Copies of this chain bind each other. A is one copy, B any other.
Amino acid sequence: MSLIVVGSVAYDGVETPHGKIDRMLGGAATYIALAAAWFTPVKLVAVVGDDFAPEDVDLLASRAIDLDGLERVAGGKTFFWAGKYSPDMNDRTTLRTDLNVFADFDPKLPDSYRSAPYLLLGNIQPSLQKNVRAQMTAVKFAGGDTMNYWINDFRAELLETIREWDFLLINDTEARLLSGEHNLRRAAARILEMGPRALVVKRGEYGAVLFQGGCHFMAPGYLLEDVFDPTGAGDSFAGGFIGYLAGRGVSPSNGAIDFAELRRAVIYGSVMGSFCCEKFGVDRFRTLTREEIEARYREFQDCTAF
């Protein structure tokens, strides 16, 4: 089932204890789309400048990602972000943010996208997220991500936007900020009252917790021997999560989403996030196979069952 992915496509400069890359393909929508494309057909909505390289188009196209919604601004430059990770890679410092063409991003869905049933809204201005959803005619399952900036400074718009969502995918700091509750279980209960049917709280290396109604499910973080570059891990998680659900045709029934499918989606999200960290940028996705994905899913089963 077709999945619309909306968000940033960018170039990143990244420094981790394992090395330094001055410019590589990045952006939330890139990671989401690449991760989701293992599970379901993806249609991308994003904006780039005319510096966007043919080989990066080729990579996305090679995963059968529909690029009709990838707007190119003539004379414009692609969003650029640079950052440096702390020695333990739990923190990062932003060195540079050049929004470039992304500053005026106003996503318009091509006609061929409007009837798609699945929608993943990457972290952009909440009103834009709401506009995208309004352009869709037959959406069965929609949700997305946000960040502290929108929670703090665009709260009203954000609340109006997520009220319509089937799921919200945020990290633990954002969940606390959005809810005003430090305790994760209380924070989740508050957020579910705001509208989303399901909530996934990402906890970095410690995994993720899924909440729906009075139920929750806890997925551990995969214990990697080497984290090369955590950039994009959260977005790859989102891509695996929504990609799996779209591939299975899951949608809410009587107001709730099949919890067993949601559990599996969280694990596939964790699988894709873990692969993302194994190389710089999107590099691990260049060689990844479906067999490796399934083998890691079984590893998750093996290291959590009792």
> Judging by beta carbons under 8 Å apart, are B185 and A306 in contact?
no
> Judging by beta carbons under 8 Å apart, are A216 and B206 in contact?
no
**Which residues of chain B have C-beta atoms less than 8 A from A304's C-beta?**
217-218, 304, 306
A23 within 8 A of B: no
Q: How far is the CB of A182 from chain B (nearest CB, A)?
A: 6
From B186, B203, B227, B305, A305 is in contact (CB under 8 Å) with: B305
A224 within 8 A of B: yes
From B88, B260, B306, A260 is in contact (CB under 8 Å) with: B306
A207 within 8 A of B: yes
Complex interface residues of chain A between 292 and 306 (CB less than 8 A to chain B): 300-301, 303-306
> Judging by beta carbons under 8 Å apart, are B184 and A207 in contact?
no
Q: Which residue of the partner chain B has the closest CB to A182? A: B88
Copy count, this protein chain? 2
Residues of A near any B CB (own CB < 8 A): 87-88, 182-186, 203, 206-207, 209, 215-220, 223-227, 260, 263-264, 266-267, 300-301, 303-306
Q: Which residue of the partner chain B has the closest CB to A203? A: B206
Cα–Cα, bound, A266→B303 (Å): 12
Q: How far is the CB of A16 from chain B (nearest CB, A)?
A: 13
> Judging by beta carbons under 8 Å apart, are A220 and B223 in contact?
no
**Which residues of chain B have C-beta atoms less than 8 A from A203's C-beta?**
206
A-B contact pairs, 19 of them (CB 8 A): A183-B224, A183-B225, A183-B226, A183-B227, A185-B223, A203-B206, A206-B207, A207-B220, A215-B303, A216-B223, A216-B303, A217-B303, A217-B306, A218-B223, A219-B306, A263-B305, A263-B306, A301-B306, A305-B305
Cα–Cα, bound, A227→B306 (Å): 26
Cα–Cα, bound, A225→B260 (Å): 24
Cα–Cα, bound, A203→B218 (Å): 15
Q: How far is the CB of A95 from chain B (nearest CB, A)?
A: 23
Q: How far is the CB of A293 from chain B (nearest CB, A)?
A: 15
Q: A215-B303, A218-B223 are in contact. List 18 more A-B contacts (CB 8 A).
A: A88-B182, A185-B223, A186-B225, A206-B206, A206-B207, A209-B223, A216-B303, A217-B306, A218-B220, A218-B303, A219-B306, A220-B220, A263-B305, A264-B306, A266-B306, A301-B306, A304-B304, A305-B305
